[in-house]
Structure 1
Amino acid sequence: MHTIPLGHTDVAVSRLALGCMLMGTSTDEADSFAMLDRYLAAGGTFLDTADCYAWWPGPGFTGGESESLLGRWFARTGRRDEVFLATKGSAWVADPDAARAETLTDEEKYAGAGADTLRRALDGSLRRLGVDHVDLYYVHVDDRRTPLEETLEALAGLVAAGKTRYLGWSNVPTWRLERIRQLCDRYGWPAPVALQQEHTYLRRRPGDANLSIVDSQQLAYLRAHEDLTLVAYSPILKGVYDDVHKQRDLAQMRSYRGADTDARLAAVAKIAAELGVSGSVLVLAWVLHQRSPRRVALIGPRTPAQFDELMSASDLRLDDDVLRALDAAGA
């Protein structure tokens, strides 16, 4: 398993991170434990979860299930010290039923990034995980209601207390990220070392307002700031590269639809067929081959079979001709 430095820290993390979002809900405990065991056996070290994972699979789920499952796995295996553990706060949902019914705005739905909220959230995460600290703690959803100074000072306190080693941010536009970094520099607070955003081979269509997706401006910003590592979530867009129905119907595709995407999907289908791999594996390998900026690809398999298929991307070598063909595709 290849690794890359996390920002300018002295930590190296697996370039293929295991997302644990569905563990304990859509994925049962036996399959979850099997994937965790296989991931570490393959040399993987980077586990990703959040306090809100996962309230949305259906009634009875409230969030916290993924962290609790990881806590049971740590207790069973004693392997906490072998992993780089990331979790997130600020997107906790107090009323999952209303959230599932889509009757709440985002401001009403999410707990936010207030100082007391984050302190309580991380304490809850540590309790469910059964650990005394995490390695990386993200602000999961960018909270415009709370002054950044309040959020950043609280996060600095969590680092000082030893409850997290490093900080990250997710679902944030570039201008806010720059403001965060300026404030950290001004007040001597620890700055984020990881940026978790949606990132795949397809490019966000011009004019789309989804700020959770990396665009060309944000990639340029990351190239200029190597102390910040991109953690790419949804790199395979829920399997869209191998399913024409998802290409048509998946809600996430609203941000990508257009001639550019049609051309890129066609390129993936052609090259994947020539290489004898799935489109998902090809795209995941493409993400892993990118060097500027450096990036981690985050997979979230639901089954051990999906896990095994996606892990094969780490061994797929794409030659220069393939990479040029993929990069040149588009309208």
Structure 2
Amino acid sequence: MKTVELGRTGEQISRLALGCMIMGTVTPEDEAVTMLDRYVEAGGNFLDTADCYCWWERRGSYGGESEELIGRWLARTGRRDDVFLATKGSAVVRDLDAVWAGGRPNWDVAYRTFVGAGAKTLREAIDGSLRRLGTDHVDLYYVHVDDRTTPLAETLEALAGIVQAGKARYIGWSNVRTWRLERIRQLCAQHGRPAPVALQQQHSYLRRRAGLRHVSIVDDEQLDYLQAHDDLTLVAYSPILKGIYDDPDKRKGHGAMEPYQGPDADARLAAAAEVAAEVGVSPNALVLAWLLHQNSPTIAPLIGPRTLQQYEAALPALEVKLTDEQLTRLDTAGA
């Protein structure tokens, strides 16, 4: 498995990152452990989790199941030094009763009741994550959901303290507007704080539909910003959009498709299917391969397989070699 430098840190991370969000809840422990073992045996080293994973899968849970599972796996295998471990804070829900009042998790309420990125919250959150993971540090610590109610100076001071204490080596940000990211970087430069080296956003081959306002999906402005700042690596979550590229029936009415629906998406889906057939892989794997071919900006796709079968279905993307003509065809497809 090829690696890429994380920003300008000198750290080599796997080009394909393994998302552990549903490990320990939706994905049973034995299957999750097998995935972790096979990923590392294949040369992978970039594991991604968060303290809130996966509160929405178990009523009464505040999260932590994914970190706990990884902690057990690290303790059993002794592989802590073999992995680049990333986790996140700020998106635990304060009031579970309010979120579950209707019998199912209400995400609008959840977003209004996240604990946020206050200094005390982050300091307690990193300690909780380290305890569950069974380690004295993580390699990358993200602000999971940008908190615009807490002064950035407070958040950045807390993160600097976390890095200074050796509890995290680097910081990142997720689900954030480009103007906010620039402000964060300016404040870090002005006050000598550790600046983000990774940006985790939703990014795929499809482009979000015209007129959509969405804080988490990369747009043209954010791509331009990342191309101009190679000290930031884009960690692309939901790269295959819940697997919708392989299944036209699944795309119909699927929530993952809604932000992209339209003529542009139709044209790009057709192009992806065409090139996938030429190189002999599924459209899902083709999309991962296309992302792996991107160098400006550098992108590390973050897969989050639910099953071992889904994990194995992603691996052919690592071997795909796209020609310049195929890349051009994919890049220029659209309405």
Q: TM-score, normalized by length of structure 2?
A: 0.96
Q: Distance in 2 between matches of 1:108 and 1:6?
A: 32
Contact map agreement 1:194 1:228 (CA 8 A) in 2: yes
Give the aligned partner of residue 271 of structure 1: 275
Give the aligned partner of residue 169 of structure 1: 173
Q: How far off its partner does 1:107 sit?
A: 4.8
Give the aligned partner of residue 228 of structure 1: 232
Deviations 1:69-96 (A, max 9, x none): 0000011000001000000000012344
Q: Secondary structure at the match of 2:4?
A: strand
Q: Distance in 1 between matches of 2:267 and 2:58?
A: 36
Give the aligned partner of residue 9 of structure 1: 9
Question: Which shifted more, 164-173 or 313-322?
Answer: 313-322
Q: How far off its partner does 1:59 sit?
A: 2.8
Tell me the amino acid that sits aligned with residue 282 of structure 2.
S
Contact map agreement 1:25 1:61 (CA 8 A) in 2: no
Q: Is the aligned partner of 1:40 residue 2:40?
A: yes
Give the aligned partner of residue 188 of structure 1: 192
Tell me the amino acid that sits aligned with residue 220 of structure 1.
D
Q: How far off its partner does 1:271 sit?
A: 2.0
Q: Is the aligned partner of 1:139 residue 2:133?
A: no
Equivalent of 2:244, from 240, 243, 248? 240
Give the aligned partner of residue 94 of structure 2: 94
Deviations 1:79-125 (A, max 9, x none): 00100000000001234454343175355321100000000001000
Identity %: 65
Equivalent of 1:121, from 110, 121, 125? 125
Structure 1 runs (4+) greater than 4 angstroms displaced? none
Equivalent of 1:110, from 84, 100, 114? 114
Q: Distance in 2 between matches of 1:224 and 1:315?
A: 29
Give the aligned partner of residue 156 of structure 1: 160
Q: Secondary structure at the match of 2:145?
A: coil
Contact map agreement 1:59 1:97 (CA 8 A) in 2: no
CA spacing shift, 1:244–1:58, aligned 2, 3 Å: farther
Tell me the amino acid that sits aligned with residue 257 of structure 1.
Q
Q: TM-score, normalized by length of structure 1?
A: 0.97
Q: Distance in 2 between matches of 1:98 and 1:47?
A: 32
CA spacing shift, 1:62–1:260, aligned 2, 3 Å: same
Aligned residue pair count? 331
Structure-to-structure mapping, 1:252-271, within 5 angstroms = 252-271=256-275
Tell me the amino acid that sits aligned with residue 276 of structure 1.
G
Contact map agreement 2:281 2:316 (CA 8 A) in 1: no
Q: Secondary structure at the match of 1:105?
A: helix
* Gapped regions of structure 2 (runs ≥ 5): none
Give the aligned partner of residue 24 of structure 2: 24
Q: How far off its partner does 1:253 sit?
A: 2.0
Tell me the amino acid that sits aligned with residue 116 of structure 1.
K
Give the aligned partner of residue 62 of structure 1: 62
Q: Distance in 2 between matches of 1:107 and 1:280?
A: 30
Tell me the amino acid that sits aligned with residue 313 of structure 1.
A
